[in-house]
Amino acid sequence: MKGDITIGAGTIVHPKATIFAATGPIVIGSNCIIEEGAIILNRRKEVLRIGDENLFEIGCRVECPMGNCNTICTRARIHYTTRLSSYCVIGAGCLVVATEEEILDEYTVIYGPEGERRIWSGRGRLQEADLRRKHAEYLREMLPKFNRLRRGEGA
């Protein structure tokens, strides 16, 4: 972590995740999950705000603000010209780059090698939220067991 970063209560950050406020500050909401190798980067001067209960899966890279309950899948990348509202899903390996500022509507799903888009009906939203809570509970229990601080001699 480098720069002016604020992280909300209950948010889980994997020790090998990168959060870099290069130019402007980053504010991350509560109960987010930031998995191993995820990169959150702010290249703009304005605050990069990330809402509550977002999931950043392994190896994703995010440079844009977003609302609540979004899922950024493994190795997905989102350019800073894009904005996510809430309940969006960016599929595994997808690259989202807008030539001009673009705001994705709620429930937008981007998937596949061509970055196809559709709107999710929202069915199963409560089950998704329950699954995410269980995921967070598991990580809160397991991560401390494997994240040992290295101590120098004499400690």
For range 111-136, the mean pLDDT: 89
139 pLDDT band (50/70/90 cuts)? Answer: confident
For residue 116, pLDDT over 90 is answered with: yes
**Boundaries of every domain in the chain:** 5-146
pLDDT in tens, 43-56: 999 999 999 999 99
Contact present, 143 and 12 (Cβ < 8 Å):
yes
At the second CATH level, the architecture of 5-146 is 3 Solenoid (2.160)
Beta bridge partners of 2: 20
109 pLDDT band (50/70/90 cuts)? Answer: very high
87 pLDDT band (50/70/90 cuts)? Answer: very high
Contact present, 59 and 78 (Cβ < 8 Å):
no
Question: Phi then psi for 64, rounded to 5 degrees?
Answer: -125, 155
Closest-CA residue to 93 (of 113, 69, 108, 79): 113
